[in-house]
Structure 1
Amino acid sequence: MESSAVTRLFLIRHGRSTWNAAKRIQGQADPPLDGVGRGQARRLADRLRGEELAVLYASPLRRAWETAEIIGKALGVPVMPDERLREYDVGDITGLTWEQIAERYPDVARHWAEEPESLEIPGEERSAPFRARVAAVFGEIASRHAGEMVGVVAHGGTLGAYLGHLIGLP
């Protein structure tokens, strides 16, 4: 029998990584947090004190996992990995800056700016399976923790896909 108790989800984007600082596209690459990112995680942990989180779920990619570990340790909350919280795989543009993308993949750069809905990146994860995995993991987390408060530490693309799912975007 399904519970009608509401699960409160705290959606948390990882702190700044070394690649964020260098303006590199990350996708499923695994750069660590930098000092700024670790500080962001500590400040968020301070802000979350008293929220009575039951658990934190996190993408196993280092930037999200480190963020979750910092928060979890500060709050005494367990951290659970889930592969499905990984960022969208951006294929061949992983690790590149916008300038490098414009040089190497001018069609990708143009579509990203002008027609993002028709964008195709060589080697990328397909959009529909990505959105499906994101919707599934958040649905399972919410069902598993009915009536509780849960933190989810993930990535901008992952969190954006979930929010899109909530408001019915295709």
Structure 2
Amino acid sequence: MKLQAQRTAHWFRNRPITTIVTSPLRRAKETAEYIALTTKSPIFEDSRLRERANWGDLPEQTFDEFVAMWERCTREPGYIPPVGDSAKQAGVRLASLLFELAETHPPESNVVLVTHGGLITDFLVHTFPENQLNVWHPHFVAVQSDLVPECSITKLVYENGNFKIDGFASVEHLKS
């Protein structure tokens, strides 16, 4: 994980980053700190970047029970688990942050969000039509839980009140 975070930070080194916003979870915060050190950018934490649910949030829940709950949330986007948010709620939560950032930063800003794969796909599945998502993977919705590797980069562009996917789950920067 540390090497991936360092390579991700290295990829951002010569880009004009306006700000970094990170999930409150440790692994995201550590990655954000590497990026902030490399780019000399300010870093902020926002709980809207947390995953829909995390193993360990529900006392005495086994990992298998967590996985079953996660998979149900993915299959049934409106299902609200005993802890956390539904997939739809999580997508809406990320959308609210993205629109807030778009409204409060100039158009030429480059904001880096350090978050989690499930939250990214929750947002994408509930924001974009399936045919647009299938450009990135032919069965995007069906396999969404497996599409975002750690420290991958998904790029969104905000224009005319809408987001556009400009890159999805790239890991090219991790191969050096």
**What's the TM-score bracket when you normalise by the shorter of the two chains?**
0.5 to 0.7
Which 5+ residue runs of structure 2 have no aligned equivalent? 131-176
Q: CA RMSD in A?
A: 3.2
Structure number with the bigger relative contact order (C-alpha 8 A, sep ≥ 6) is 1
- Structure number with the higher helix fraction is 1
TM normalised by structure 2 equals: 0.59
Q: How many residues align?
A: 126
Find the structure with the greater CA-based Rg: 1
Take 2:60 and 2:103, find their aligned partners in 1: how far apart are those partners? 34
Deviation above 3 Å: which 4+ runs of structure 1? 90-97, 108-113, 118-124
TM normalised by structure 1 equals: 0.60
1:6-155 to structure 2, matched below 5 A, reads 37-90=1-54, 92=58, 96-97=62-63, 100-101=64-65, 109=68, 112=71, 116-117=75-76, 121-145=81-105, 146-155=107-116
Query: Residues 144 and 94 (structure 1 numbering): CA distance in 2 closer, same or farther, change over 3 Å?
Result: farther
Contact 1:92 1:124 in 2 (8 A): no
Query: What amino acid is the match of 2:42?
Result: P
Take 1:139 and 1:95, find their aligned partners in 2: how far apart are those partners? 34
Take 1:150 and 1:82, find their aligned partners in 2: how far apart are those partners? 13
- Structure number with the higher strand fraction is 2
Percent identity, aligned pairs only, is 30
Query: Residues 94 and 150 (structure 1 numbering): CA distance in 2 closer, same or farther, change over 3 Å?
Result: farther
